[in-house]
Amino acid sequence: MDSRLPKLSFVALAVYSVIHFPSYYSQLPDVVASHFNGRGIPNGWQSKPAFFTVFVGVSVLAAVIGFGISRIISALPPQLINLPNKQYWLAPDRLAETQAFLNNYFAWFGWAVFLIIILTFDYAIKSNLDPQNRPDISRMWYILAGFLAFVAVWIIRLLTRFLRTPQEKVRS
């Protein structure tokens, strides 16, 4: 599997963030609402620099999830990797294919995490720009539901791939 598409998609989101979010910096108050309850009412605040520092930090975390975890897995000895049927999937003749799959798969997961981060920070910024007319909180609930659906499909596909070996698929 080729992981260029999720990597390019991640870079596109990063470029968007670098252009989009700094354009709001001067418009935001010195202290911004940074946490909201389930009804969209602010219940946590940060200084503007701290808010943007957190954004950069969690963005780096998304990159580590997307691109670092698979590299760490690739560097580990097979006995330390928790993967169904790992003797089959980590055998020398399948190792490169398995690592390529995991690189691609975690890259998409990192992309999804980064997208959630961007959408969440965008909600917070828009809520601070016009506190009397905040965006509808249901938007965040739909985003969360979409992310949870993505995670469920991601896990199911991962397990479907590794729980059964090709010989088992032929016999069933």
Q: What is the mean pLDDT of each run of 10 residues along the chain (172 residues)?
A: 84 95 95 94 96 96 92 89 92 92 93 96 95 92 97 96 76 53
Angle at 46 between CA 43 and CA 140, to 5 degrees: 50
71: which 2 tokens?
A: 């590299």
State the pTM of this model: 0.88
- Amino acid identity, position 97: E
Residue 110 has, within 13 A of its CA and on its CB side, a CA count of 29
Residue 90's contacts (CB-CB under 8 Å, 6 or more residues apart) are: 78, 81, 83, 98
